[in-house]
Structure 1
Amino acid sequence: MGTSLENFIETTQSIASVAGLKKTFLAAVAEEGYENAVFARTNERGLVSLPWAEFPSGYVDTYRSEGWDRRDPVVQRAHLARRPFKWSETSPRGGFTKDQMRFFEECRELGVHSGITIPIPGSGRDVDLISLSLRQRAELPPHRMTHLYMLSVQYWLKYCELSDRRDQEVVPLTFQERECLRWCKEGKTNWEIGEILNISEKTVEFHLSNGMRKLGANNRITAVIVGIKTGLIPL
């Protein structure tokens, strides 16, 4: 089943270098079946920076020299997406343009096949993204999208900590805020959490919203990861 989220968080907590963090993350996604991976910062115009990329030789150089970031529908979609997505989902209503189809074909020729992308809002209007893909034509591995999302968010939070891009401090959560986030970690819906805690769905939404705001998270998954990292939510 691959690396559990709990083990990944525990392992990354003690990592002291960006290089060590990258190695641990790549090992975790490799267990999920992904051979290619990239961590990039983008804006609406294209690629801003590329902290690292694990692709077949020549792919990154070609991507940069050909200005593919301005053609890449994955980069374009990342600024609109609020959740992880498959590359096949980036097709516009009328289908991919000939230019986009040629782009994907050139990628495949260089050993970059179907994949998924996890967008993470960065500073300002920038979006950080992590993309995972295959090196040969094949079906994508069985999707554990939420699991991959959580691994990626934990990687990103630890990367920010190591590179001094984000300074997190422990903030107090109420008992019910912690409980709602704890049950979110277990995959429970608002209705299920309400039944467990004997409160209404609307009250669950209220506590989750407050918890996300206090933790500086723009979604529940990020809030859960931050809560685990800071010891507010038990593993």
Structure 2
Amino acid sequence: MGTNLETFIESTQSVASAAVLKKLFLTAIAEEGYENVVFARANNRRLVSVPWSEFPTGYLDTYRAEEWDRIDPVVQRAPSARGPFRWTDTQPRSGFNKQEKTFFEQCRELGVHSGITIPIRGIGNEVDLISLSLRTQDRLPPDRTTHIYMLSVQYWLKYCELTDRREQETVALTSQELECLRWCKEGKTNWEIGEILHISEKTVEFHLSNGMRKLGAANRITAVIIGIKRGLIPL
């Protein structure tokens, strides 16, 4: 189902332009069942730019004119989110307020609903957002959050490389840090990795934490993608 992650990574390795990279990413996302995609940047809970988007005609113009980012729960949630989240996850226990409910209703009328957002730490205090959503009221795609997250992180890393937004520093990981990340790639839990390597779960957490810090990754999934891209972790 959908694009194989390793195939996607391999197909983007030799890409020389952001336009070709975007096309590959949109194809992969479409295969996951999503029709709308936007790549945006936020700072201090406001959008500062939208490098590109694939929305129904008129949606982005309306969003900007109404300054919806001031009330958009997705934009407000992004700075504190540590991983991907569905738009429904932004609803507080007390429910959305009237303004937020109206916002989501207007989005649905314009062909944007049932979304998932991948926040990625950008430069400084910026948060880069990749959001996917549907255009028509239909059955939601299967929950493939982790897979979509990894596709998005790979897109972002390659985009940064092409646009010189992120320096590719030389990173030296220890053999145990690399081994733990390699087993993360295989979907193993910290406990399972500990059993395989004959070390404690806390030691696994220690090595993974160090590896993530060295790679500048907010979580293990991002660390794995960066490790693959830099040739530290084999496909």
Contact 2:37 2:130 in 1 (8 A): yes
Deviation at 1:157?
Answer: 0.6
Q: Which residue of 2 aligns with 1:224?
A: 224
Whole-angstrom distance in 1 between the partners of 2:76 and 2:131: 13
Deviation at 1:114?
Answer: 0.9
Whole-angstrom distance in 2 between the partners of 1:153 and 1:45: 21
Whole-angstrom distance in 1 between the partners of 2:31 and 2:99: 33
Contact 1:154 1:225 in 2 (8 A): yes
Deviation at 1:194?
Answer: 0.5
How many residues align? The count is 235
Contact 1:42 1:75 in 2 (8 A): yes
Q: Which residue of 1 aligns with 2:126?
A: 126
Contact 2:112 2:134 in 1 (8 A): yes
Whole-angstrom distance in 2 between the partners of 1:218 and 1:72: 24
Deviation at 1:172?
Answer: 2.1
Cα root mean square deviation, aligned: 1.0
Deviation at 1:144?
Answer: 0.8
For residues 109-188 of structure 1, the aligned pairs below 5 Å read: 109-188=109-188
Residues 60-69 or 120-129, more deviating: 120-129
Counterpart of 1:196 in structure 2: which amino acid? Answer: I
TM-score normalised per structure 1: 0.97
Whole-angstrom distance in 1 between the partners of 2:205 and 2:65: 47
For residues 1-235 of structure 1, the aligned pairs below 5 Å read: 1-235=1-235
Deviation at 1:92?
Answer: 1.6
Whole-angstrom distance in 2 between the partners of 1:226 and 1:157: 8
Whole-angstrom distance in 1 between the partners of 2:170 and 2:3: 27
Q: Secondary structure at the match of 1:79?
A: helix
Deviation at 1:212?
Answer: 1.2
Contact 1:115 1:140 in 2 (8 A): no
TM-score normalised per structure 2: 0.97
Q: Which runs of 5+ in 1 are unaligned?
A: none
Whole-angstrom distance in 1 between the partners of 2:45 and 2:230: 35
Contact 2:82 2:218 in 1 (8 A): no
Counterpart of 1:36 in structure 2: which amino acid? Answer: N
Q: Secondary structure at the match of 2:50?
A: strand
Whole-angstrom distance in 2 between the partners of 1:101 and 1:138: 20
Whole-angstrom distance in 1 between the partners of 2:170 and 2:43: 30
Deviation at 1:166?
Answer: 0.4
